[in-house]
């Protein structure tokens, strides 16, 4: 495992060498580095198609070991942290959650979560929040913000039904999600409260693009994007949910969707990344295994 990671890391270095402007003296060393994973879907259940649920704990262990060696500032998982058995049982699902949360917290630093639809497939949103920890919170919150090195990170929760109720123990249609009005007001207040540069984390997609079904997108994404675009300080939106991954750049904001960790069998498949932000607010994503490298230039679009 570690040899494959080293090889991928070497490839990332070669990719950087292909862009000498990234390494030029005008670009400062990283001011902040954090680990990124999504769609772990851990469960001790049979493989379904390309989803190897039971291998996700080993894949996450590989990622966290590297994150610890890299001495990152924090790590965040972007939802669908766990899955469920066939047939689903409440206690068994809780056990899966507790087990994978314990593994995530072997990271030697702050850990944060984003809620995904599968996190409420056979337990409630409150059940999920009671069994995880977000750094600095007495009780884990479903949407929140935190500040590191002068950058504000905003975590959104789109796991709501048409009537505004929470996703709860499978009482939802995963193809529909939205960010309700009270959370939109909170988001606007967060963006108005200061002029810090912002990165947004969400599970479901805020950008639609050719080849992806609208079912992967937040129903009222346009409303949320309009709020983000009114402020000149939103650098990027980092997302999960769409297992194939994607990148787009729209009206000054980068949208990067990381590939799912659950997809594919070991030893050849995994997906996680290290995100670096430099003093000029350029963002470099160093991807490992199936996770794609990407450089997101501050306000300049894709390199």
Q: Each residue of 63-109: pLDDT tens digit?
A: 999 999 999 999 999 999 999 999 999 999 999 999 999 999 999 99
The pTM score is: 0.90
Total domains present in the chain: 1
* The pLDDT of residue 12: 43
> 18 pLDDT exceeds 80?
no
Task: Report which of 145, 164, 149 is spatially closest to residue 202, judged by C-alpha positions.
Answer: 145
Residue 166 CA to residue 133 CA, distance in Å, equals: 20
CB 113 within 8 A of CB 132: yes
Dump pLDDT digits (tens) for 279-301: 999 999 999 999 999 999 997 54
Alpha-carbon distances of 179 from 116, 147, 157, 166, 217, rounded to whole Å? 13, 22, 7, 11, 11
CB 188 within 8 A of CB 227: yes
Question: Is the peptide bond between 271 and the residue preceding it cis, with omega within 30 degrees of 0?
Answer: no
* The pLDDT of residue 216: 87
Q: Would you place residue 254 in the very low, low, confident or very high pLDDT band (cuts 50, 70, 90)? A: very high
What mean pLDDT do residues 162-183 have? 95
Dump pLDDT digits (tens) for 116-137: 999 999 999 999 999 999 999 9
Helix (H, G, I), strand (E, B), or coil: what is residue 92?
Answer: helix
Residue 62 makes CB contacts below 8 A (sequence gap 6+) with 1, 2, 5, 270, 272
- Per the prediction, the chain carries an average pLDDT of 90
Tokens (6 digits) for 226:
């309009």
Residue 90 CA to residue 176 CA, distance in Å, equals: 23
Alpha-carbon distances of 169 from 8, 88, 226, rounded to whole Å? 39, 10, 31
Helix H or strand E segment including 76: strand 74-77
Q: Would you place residue 3 in the very low, low, confident or very high pLDDT band (cuts 50, 70, 90)? A: very low
For residue 86, give the CATH number of its domain.
3.60.21.10
What mean pLDDT do residues 42-51 have? 97
What mean pLDDT do residues 204-211 have? 80
Where in the sequence is the domain holding 272, given as residue range(s)?
2-302
């Amino acid at each position: 495992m570690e040899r494959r990671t080293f090889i991928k890391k070497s490839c990332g270095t070669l990719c950087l060498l292909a862009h000498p402007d990234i390494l030029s003296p005008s670009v400062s060393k990283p001011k902040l580095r954090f680990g990124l994973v999504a769609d772990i879907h851990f469960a001790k259940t049979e493989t379904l198609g390309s989803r190897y649920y039971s291998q996700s704990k080993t894949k996450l262990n590989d990622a966290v070991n590297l994150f610890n060696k890299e001495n990152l500032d924090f790590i965040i998982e972007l939802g669908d942290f766990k899955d469920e058995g066939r047939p689903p049982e409440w206690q068994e699902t809780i056990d899966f959650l507790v087990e994978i949360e314990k593994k995530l917290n072997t990271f030697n630093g702050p850990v944060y979560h984003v809620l995904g639809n599968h996190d409420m497939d056979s337990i409630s949103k409150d059940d999920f929040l009671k069994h995880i920890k977000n750094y600095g919170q007495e009780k884990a919150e479903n949407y929140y913000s935190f500040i590191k090195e002068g950058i504000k990170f905003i975590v959104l929760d789109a796991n709501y039904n048409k009537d505004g109720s929470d996703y709860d123990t499978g009482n939802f249609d995963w193809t529909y999600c939205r960010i309700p009005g009270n959370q939109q007001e909170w988001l606007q207040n967060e963006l108005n409260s200061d002029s810090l540069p912002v990165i947004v984390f969400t599970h479901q997609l805020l950008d639609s693009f050719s080849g992806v079904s609208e079912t992967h997108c937040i129903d009222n994404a346009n409303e949320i994007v309009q709020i983000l675009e009114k402020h000149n300080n939103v650098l990027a939106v980092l997302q999960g949910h769409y297992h194939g991954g994607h990148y787009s750049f729209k009206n000054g904001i980068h949208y990067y969707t990381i590939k799912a960790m659950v997809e594919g069998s070991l030893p050849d498949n995994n997906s996680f990344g290290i995100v670096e932000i430099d003093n000029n607010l350029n963002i470099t994503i160093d991807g490992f295994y199936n996770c794609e490298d990407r450089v997101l230039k501050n306000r300049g679009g894709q390199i």
